[in-house]
């Protein structure tokens, strides 16, 4: 689950001033958090393997083309070379089908040789069976990793909304919600790289998302020890009621449409030290207008 | 995969040749192609290189191709230099004056390994076959319309 570049800070303690002893359950969750933390691989940008991606691409293309009937527009807006920060809205729960569709389109368009990294939640990279993502270029979401990748000339895909946005309820499908996270803006401004918004629609129709489960996550201490601010509840195949969205599931075959907008030069447009809230509203406003248009094009759920 | 589509065009081979060697007009007729752009000087000939892209399913695929055969009014063939492995050929034969048999051939492969790669190649062949079929139909419509316009302009010029 790709995440915002600035959301990788160590789990902050609760804002209670007088710490209380942990309950047995909280100790268990904390232990689990340490186990996962130990599994999080050191970010090694060299783990990306173009030959591996070339081998895997046809299979991903099949899923993208036949199951999700993916359509990606405007790839020509992405600068043909050099570092670029791609900023997307995120949908579809932990399966993140929009990331797959976009990765296939990007790597086909620019070739697998062009360095392309996606930032992902730590839990994704430490989960068993998902090690192949690292060879695809996925690295843990952190400012440091994003900065290193961009300084190395790579295209970097971030989803500022992260787990907060990807598990939004189905009735908020047509909303872009980055939870006012601005790390991606600071990153683009500090490195002077172009920011290219990437807007997708359809991913949130691959399940029926009922709730982010933020209260549930807080109550269980997952936000403190696993960096999980949500514990989503959805209806999905074959589990019917799916809590946490960590078990394998079959996504509904919703058509996914993605549109790449023109690059933004934030420094040229807003100056070297702008009010980030103003820039945030501008970028999210552009993306929301595009999402509204893409949503209006859809005539039927799933079919698009 | 090997794909071959042909059609009879009611126009001289030279008129068809003009279209398939002009990167701008060629994009009008190549169905789902989004790029056919000369790398250096436009003008064609053996060794000329073009950046190409075609929409196949959910992706735009292509790469750099080089002209390896350039026989005006008869054959134009290319092969890939980078990107998707491909060979292509326009084959024109004016069997009766003013009527040209046009064949578009495409051969290529999918780089992926295993069952996924094999399956992808079968599915991609359906997409590319459809693009090829529509392209020769579009070429026929475009060339014949252009020829009718030219003939009408010539008639008007003679009348005035």
Which chain B residues are closer than 8 Å to A110 by Cβ? none
Taking contacts as CB-CB distances below 8 angstroms, the residues of chain A near B114 are: 55, 59
- Write the pLDDT tens digit of every residue in A150-199: 999 999 999 999 888 989 999 988 999 898 999 999 999 999 999 999 99
* pLDDT score recorded for residue B114: 81
B chain contacts of residue A58, beta-carbon cutoff 8 Å? 110-112, 116-117, 119-121, 124
Mutate to test the interface with B, among A49, A59, A61, A253 (most CBs of B within 10 A): A61
The pTM is what? 0.84
Distance, in Å, from the CA atom of B10 to the CA atom of B65, rounded to the nearest integer, reads 29
Give the pLDDT confidence score for residue A194 in this predicted structure. Answer: 97
Would you state the pLDDT for residue B82?
86
Whether B54 contacts B34, CB under 8 Å: yes
pLDDT at A2: 45
Tell whether the model's pLDDT for residue A4 goes beyond 80: no
CA–CA dist B125, B107 (Å, integer) = 10
Does B58 sit within 8 Å of A61, measured CB to CB?
yes
* pLDDT tens-digit readout, A116-152: 999 988 777 777 777 788 899 999 888 889 999 999 9
Q: Is residue A180 within 8 Å of A7, Cβ to Cβ?
A: no
Asked if A215 and A208 count as a contact pair (C-beta separation under 8 A), the reply is no
pLDDT at A275: 95
Q: With contacts defined as CB-CB under 8 Å, which chain B residues touch A104?
A: 58-59
Compute the distance between CA of residue A34 and CA of residue A295 in angstroms, rounded to an integer. Answer: 41
Average pLDDT over residues A235-253: 89
The residue among B59, B112, B118, B130 with the most chain A CBs within 10 A of its CB, best to mutate, is B59
Chains A, B: CB contacts within 8 A come to 72
pLDDT at A152: 93
Cα–Cα distance measured from residue A55 to residue A41, given in angstroms and rounded to the nearest whole number: 23
Say how far apart CA B134 and CA B105 lie, in whole Å: 13
Tell me how far apart the alpha carbons of residues B51 and B60 are, in angstroms, rounded to a whole number.
12
- Please give the CATH superfamily to which domain B2-159 belongs: START domain (3.30.530.20)
DSSP letters spanning chain B: -EEEEEEEESS-HHHHHHHHT-HHHHHHHSTTEEEEEESSSSS--TT-EEEEEEEETTEEEEEEEEEEEEETTTEEEEEESSSS-EEEEEEEEEEETTEEEEEEEEEE-----HHHHHHHHHHHHHHHHHHHHHHHHHHHHHHHHHHHHHHHHHHHHHH-
Return d(Cα A9, Cα A140) in angstroms, integer: 11
Whether A59 and B60 lie within 8 Å, measured CB to CB? no
Q: Which residues of A touch B58 (CB under 8 A)?
A: 61, 64-65, 68-72, 101, 104-105
Report chain A residues whose CB lies below 8 A from the CB of B121: 58
Cα gap A162→A172, rounded to integer Å = 15
Q: Distance between CA A9 and CA A178 in Å, rounded?
A: 17
Structure tokens at B31: 């169905």
Query: Longest C-alpha distance within chain B, in Å?
Result: 68
Residue A300: per-residue pLDDT: 81
* Residues A5, A157: Cα–Cα separation, whole Å: 10
Give me the average pLDDT of each 10-residue run along chain B (160 residues): 95 97 95 93 88 93 94 96 91 95 92 81 93 97 96 93
Is pLDDT above 50 for A13?
Answer: no
CA distance to A22, A24, A223, B44, per residue, from A30 (Å):
9, 10, 10, 67
Quote the percentage of chain A above a pLDDT of 90.
Answer: 56
User: pLDDT digits over A28-40, tens only?
Assistant: 777 766 666 665 5
Contact A58 B121 (CB under 8 A): yes
Lowest mean pLDDT among A28-32, A90-94, A107-111, A176-180: A28-32
Judge: domain A24-208+256-297, CATH 3.40.1130. Answer: yes
Is the Cβ pair A101, B121 closer than 8 Å?
no
Domain ranges, ordered by start, for chain B: 2-159
CB atoms inside a 10 Å sphere around CB B49:
16
Q: State the average pLDDT over residues A234-255.
A: 89
A11 pLDDT more than 50: no
Which of B32, B58, B65 is most worth mutating to test chain A (most A CB atoms within 10 A of its CB)? B58
From A54, A65, A111, residue closest to B58, measured CB to CB: A65
Chain A residues inside the 8 Å CB shell of B112:
54-59
**Do A185 and A279 contact (CB within 8 A), yes or no?**
yes
Structural domain spans, chain A: 24-208+256-297
- Give the closest-approach CA distance of A260 to chain B in angstroms: 14
Q: Which of A44, A80, A4 is nearest to A152 (CA)?
A: A44
Strands, E assignment, chain A: 71-73, 84-88, 116-120, 138-140, 155-158, 195-201, 208-211, 233-236, 240-243, 257-260
Cis? peptide before A238, omega within 30° of 0: yes
Q: Edge-to-edge strand order for the sheet containing B49-56?
A: B2-9, B99-108, B86-96, B75-80, B59-71, B49-56, B33-38
Bridge partners (DSSP) of residue A259 are A73, A199
Q: Cα distance from A76 to chain B (closest Cα, Å)? A: 10
| Residue A293 CA neighbour count, 13 Å, CB half | 9
CA distance A135 to A132: 5
* CA-wise closest residue to B88 among B121, B41, B131: B131
- Angstrom distance (rounded) from CA A142 to CA A66: 33
Question: How far is the C-alpha of A10 from the C-alpha of A18, rounded, in Å?
Answer: 20
Interface residues of chain A, partner chain B, Cβ below 8 Å: 54-59, 61-62, 64-66, 68-72, 75, 101, 104-105, 108-109, 111
**Secondary structure string (H, E, C) spanning A227-257:** CCCCCCEEEEECCEEEECCCCCCECCCCCCE
ipTM: 0.82
CB contact under 8 A, B112 and A65: no
DSSP string, B78-92: EEESSSS-EEEEEEE
**Nearest Cα residue in chain A from B57:** A65
């Amino acid at each position: 689950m790709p995440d915002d570049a600035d959301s990788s800070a160590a789990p902050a303690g609760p804002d209670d001033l007088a710490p209380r002893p942990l309950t047995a359950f909280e100790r268990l969750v904390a232990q689990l958090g340490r186990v996962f933390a130990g599994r999080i691989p050191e970010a090694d940008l060299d783990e990306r393997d173009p030959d591996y991606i070339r081998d895997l691409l046809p299979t991903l293309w099949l899923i993208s083309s036949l199951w999700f009937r993916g359509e990606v527009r405007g790839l020509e807006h992405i600068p043909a070379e050099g570092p670029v920060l791609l900023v997307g809205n995120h949908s579809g729960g932990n399966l993140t089908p929009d990331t797959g569709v976009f990765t296939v389109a990007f790597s086909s368009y620019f070739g697998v040789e062009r360095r392309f990294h996606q930032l992902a939640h730590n839990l994704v990279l430490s989960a068993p069976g998902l090690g192949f993502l690292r060879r695809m270029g996925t690295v843990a979401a952190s400012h440091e990793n994003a900065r290193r990748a961009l300084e190395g000339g790579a295209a970097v895909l971030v989803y500022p909304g992260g787990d907060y946005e990807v598990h939004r309820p189905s009735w908020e499908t047509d909303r872009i919600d980055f939870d006012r996270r601005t790390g991606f803006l600071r990153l683009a401004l500090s490195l002077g790289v172009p920011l290219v918004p990437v807007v997708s629609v359809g991913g949130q129709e691959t399940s029926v998302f009922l709730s982010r489960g933020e209260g549930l996550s807080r109550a269980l201490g997952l936000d403190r020890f696993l960096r999980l601010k949500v514990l989503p509840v959805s209806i999905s195949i074959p589990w019917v009621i799916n809590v946490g969205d960590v078990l394998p599931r079959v996504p509904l075959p919703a058509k996914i449409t993605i549109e790449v907008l023109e690059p933004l030069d934030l420094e040229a447009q807003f100056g070297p030290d702008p009010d980030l809230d103003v820039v945030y509203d501008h970028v999210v406003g552009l993306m929301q207008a595009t999402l509204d248009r893409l949503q209006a094009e859809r005539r039927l759920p799933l079919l698009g | 995969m090997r794909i071959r589509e042909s059609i009879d065009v009611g126009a001289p081979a030279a008129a068809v040749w003009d279209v398939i060697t002009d990167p701008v007009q060629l994009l009008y007729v190549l169905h789902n192609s989004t790029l056919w752009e000369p790398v250096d000087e436009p003008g064609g000939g053996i060794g000329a290189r073009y950046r190409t892209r075609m929409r196949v399913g959910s992706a735009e695929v292509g790469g750099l191709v080089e002209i390896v055969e350039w026989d005006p009014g008869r054959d134009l063939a290319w092969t890939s230099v980078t990107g998707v492995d491909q060979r292509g050929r326009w084959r024109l034969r004016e069997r009766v004056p003013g009527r040209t048999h046009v064949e578009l051939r495409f051969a290529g492969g999918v780089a992926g390994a295993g069952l996924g790669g094999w399956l992808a190649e079968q599915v991609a062949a359906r997409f590319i076959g459809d693009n090829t079929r529509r392209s020769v139909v579009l070429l026929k419509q475009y060339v014949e319309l252009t020829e009718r316009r030219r003939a009408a302009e010539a008639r008007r010029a003679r009348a005035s």
